[in-house]
Structure 1
């Protein structure tokens, strides 16, 4: 099958949840202007009933931002369907017809899922590059040969060259993207209270040296997936930023102080965002996401936890845009 090149270097991996989709939809024009972003999106809900999903992809297409949508989701409602590749491809068909740059992704989760996905892609007569997302699963050589023989393989997303090295006879010269979960997840928000800043990633500095054509991450969300949550005892805002001293991307966690109960989430937000703004003022960190945090703080309005997640993701995208410029 034909090889697929790309000028994109940064591949943020997002789930098809409301505020993650809103984050990239609102930034579509900026991502298109930068020209080196390529979101990878895992749908988690019925695409036909999720208008935000279609609007997000349409915004990316209008801004000439390439994207990849996974056809066999591993989390959420769609993961529970026995034939989720068929359902996803069916519901994606109008978007695929409207956007020739939209690519599909296949998670290498199991031999059965891979075979079902290959059959579904052939059944729907899909002729466009398919990106492979590696997991801890080790698939038999026959499954990988089935993929190579039937699909136009684009990029290989993996967290280490050993993953694709197993299949070097099938893919002798793979175009690989380093995809790692860099978010330092803890079980509870209150566990971040005493955590100091730490290096989030240096992948933007070294991915080419290590033989990758790009790199990606899961922003300030991580791979952990949950449908919803209860009221938090602690509001924690996770902020990445570029440190000019070593050009690494760091992460810092700004937490509320009144953490003895779950009441007054708005007050907890006020405590956390005040610390964030004091820090960004000292470090002279500024972008539209920081401006939005500042607006909410001085207006006294609490935008909701979902909006905090969106702004944190958007800040990270701005940070990665700056990180790519210092290479």
Structure 2
């Protein structure tokens, strides 16, 4: 089973939603979403998963973003009109989220932290009997393995980045690693490099699944910026070893952040030229990238990221059918 770890920003959520609605999200793919913002996109995505009868894990003690602040914000009566309207929208989403959260298909994920017992006893989670614990480093692994929580029957999954420690969580371990080698500048990416073989090896080590941060990486940024270069990231399966490699298609006119539409055209031209003869699975995400190039439409950086994530999730799910 593949458990992609995504932040609940708009493009990540839309990637999940579009794949689900298009029936391109494999049954072997169950996303884990760290809640970074309360939005209508989040509510809409959850609703689609529930209607489809598909599981989704939500990180209920996020360590980045503003979700917890969003959920506690209420009107005091002293706000100006703009602030009042923003809070009113939040209040609507609070109610919708709370109602959806009760669904059997919405599962809880929690970072291992000092207040874990408080979260496990939280009345909101009383009916949640399939909880995933996120262990970010070796200290977390050791402390959790020796704690009172390790035998808790409600805990079904333990996400760990240390393959040497998976034996501590027999029958529950999910190998969770950042596989995206992020560069400081988009122009620094090579044409091609190794991405991951976790989908091949996870079961050999006794894991029940594996997880990564897709083509985004584990770094969290609140807002994007105008880059000097545009890079499109596409994974593919290496024929002989069955490992994933990743290709980076980078624009050429990279001396200033001006004219992103031209930069996209340059990067997408390289993408289509390589992918058409070499990419075995022409995914929905790839098709959208190709269509925007052929129609000379620049979809925006957010959409480029969304389509690349969609390609990654669909490709991984498809490959798992034959492993």
**TM tier, smaller:** 0.7 to 0.9
The structural deviation recorded for 1:249 is 1.0
Give, in angstroms, the shift of residue 161 of structure 1.
4.3
Matching residue of 1:295 = 291
Deviation at 1:115, TM superposition (A): 3.9
Higher relative contact order (CA 8 A, sep 6+): 2
- Indicate how the Cα distance of structure 1 residues 26 and 115 shifts in structure 2: closer, same or farther if over 3 A, else same: same
The reply on whether 1:262 has 2:257 as its aligned counterpart is yes
Identify if the C-alpha distance between structure 1 residues 34 and 123 changes in structure 2 by more than 3 Å, giving closer, same or farther.
Answer: closer
| Aligned residue number for residue 211 of structure 1 | 206
Query: Could you say what secondary structure the match of 2:3 adopts?
Result: strand
Q: Kindly indicate whether the alpha-carbon contact (under 8 Å) linking 1:71 and 1:89 is maintained by their aligned counterparts in 2.
A: no
Correspondence 1:24-173 to 2 at 5 A: 24-29=16-21, 34-45=26-37, 47=38, 50-78=39-67, 92-97=97-102, 99-108=103-112, 110-111=113-114, 113-119=115-121, 121-122=122-123, 125-136=126-137, 137-138=139-140, 140=143, 144-146=147-149, 148=151, 152-163=154-165, 168=168, 173=170
Secondary structure in structure 1 of the residue aligned to 2:224: coil
Give 1:182 deviation, angstroms.
0.4
Unpaired runs of 5+ in structure 1?
1-8
Residue matched to 1:4: none
Whole-angstrom distance in 1 between the partners of 2:145 and 2:202: 30
- Shift, 1:128, TM fit: 2.3
Residue in 1 that maps onto 2:2: 10
The answer to whether residue 187 in structure 2 is matched with residue 190 in structure 1 is yes
Deviation at 1:78, TM superposition (A): 3.3
- Cα RMSD over matched residues? 2.9
Q: CA deviation at 1:12?
A: 0.8
> 1:244 maps to which residue?
239
**TM-score, structure 1 length as denominator?**
0.83
SS at match of 2:147: helix
TM-score by structure 2 length? 0.84
Q: CA deviation at 1:43?
A: 0.5
Question: Which 5+ residue runs of structure 2 have no aligned equivalent?
Answer: 74-92
Q: CA deviation at 1:20?
A: 0.2
- CA drift at 1:122: 4.1
1:227 shift after superposition: 0.8
Give, in angstroms, the shift of residue 32 of structure 1.
7.5
Work out the CA distance in 2 between the residues paired with 1:123 and 1:65: 20
Q: By how many angstroms is 1:325 displaced?
A: 2.6
Give the secondary structure class of the aligned counterpart of 1:209: helix
Shift in CA distance, 279/141, structure 1 to aligned 2, threshold 3 Å? closer
SS in 2 for 1:55: helix
